């Protein structure tokens, strides 16, 4: 299994990264997890435009899904003709929500390039990946995931405030990709995002192999986020960066 960080900026693209997007590859299968602002352009550095086998959306905030609309344009008007539909797994209403980016009357058929599957908590298979999905703590319906293949696991928090639902997803994972939008302070909003220290605390409790902090707000100081996280977790720890590749092997 191989994980590529395509975009890791939180809430909006930063100067060095698109918004949330991750590429998981195993056995020749390419799964894109989230497709936020600016991600489709960056994704083409790591995979052919039409070589994606499936897309999985954690939730329907634009910094995690808006470039699926751009991908629909590409798949509809490609020089070789419309590309065959691929599955998109996401919360209820994903097709309608993304179709409205085209205009108030809907998508003019653009969403026909996808086969939408509605996520629910539980287990499912996507290509070679065994996936566990769980609701996490965010203002809209949002999912965290655990992806397993060939004896390796990647857990992904999606966007979440504090929640115990992260523990079974992350427990013993080889890589825990966890959002860390905030720095510690007296006015952390509840039920929205995690601080770097909170994210690291989940990593420590779950006994993960490598904690990768992501959804990093462009205005936060990276060194401060890393320092706050290191105070709560003494294992392998890094800040996500665009282009980062983690090869988990088998």
CA–CA gap between residue 248 and residue 170 (Å, rounded): 16
Average pLDDT of the residues of the chain: 96
Name all domains of the chain by residue range, CATH numbers in brackets: 2-242 (3.60.15.10)
Nearest by Cα to 61 from 12, 102, 108: 12
Tell me: the pLDDT tens digits for 190-201? 899 999 999 999
Residue 152 pLDDT grade (very low, low, confident, very high; cuts 50, 70, 90) = very high
Decide if 92 contacts 118 (C-beta within 8 A): yes
What secondary structure does DSSP assign to 87-100, as a single string?
EEEESTTHHHHHHT
């Amino acid at each position: 299994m191989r994980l590529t960080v395509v975009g890791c900026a939180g809430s909006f693209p930063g100067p060095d990264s698109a918004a949330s997007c991750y590429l998981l590859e195993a056995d020749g299968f390419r799964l894109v997890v989230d497709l936020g602002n600016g991600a489709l352009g960056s994704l083409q550095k790591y995979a052919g435009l039409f070589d994606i086998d499936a897309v999985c959306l954690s939730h329907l905030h634009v910094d995690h899904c808006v470039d699926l609309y751009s991908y629909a344009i590409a798949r509809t008007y490609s020089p070789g003709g419309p590309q065959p539909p691929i599955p998109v797994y996401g919360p209820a209403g994903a097709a309608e929500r993304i179709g409205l980016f085209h205009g108030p009357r809907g998508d003019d058929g653009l969403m026909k390039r996808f086969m939408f599957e509605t996520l629910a908590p539980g287990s499912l298979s996507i290509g070679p990946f065994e996936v566990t999905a769980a609701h996490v703590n965010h203002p809209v319906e949002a999912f965290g995931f655990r992806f397993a293949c060939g004896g390796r696991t990647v857990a992904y928090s999606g966007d979440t405030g504090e929640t115990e639902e992260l523990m079974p997803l992350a427990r013993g994972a080889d890589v825990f990709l966890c959002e860390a939008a905030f720095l510690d302070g007296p006015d952390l909003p509840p039920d929205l995002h995690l601080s770097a220290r909170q994210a690291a605390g989940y990593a420590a409790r779950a006994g993960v192999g490598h904690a990768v902090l992501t959804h990093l707000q462009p205005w936060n100081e990276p060194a401060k986020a890393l320092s706050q996280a290191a105070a709560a977790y003494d294992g392998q720890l890094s800040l996500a960066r665009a282009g980062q590749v983690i090869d988990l092997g088998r």
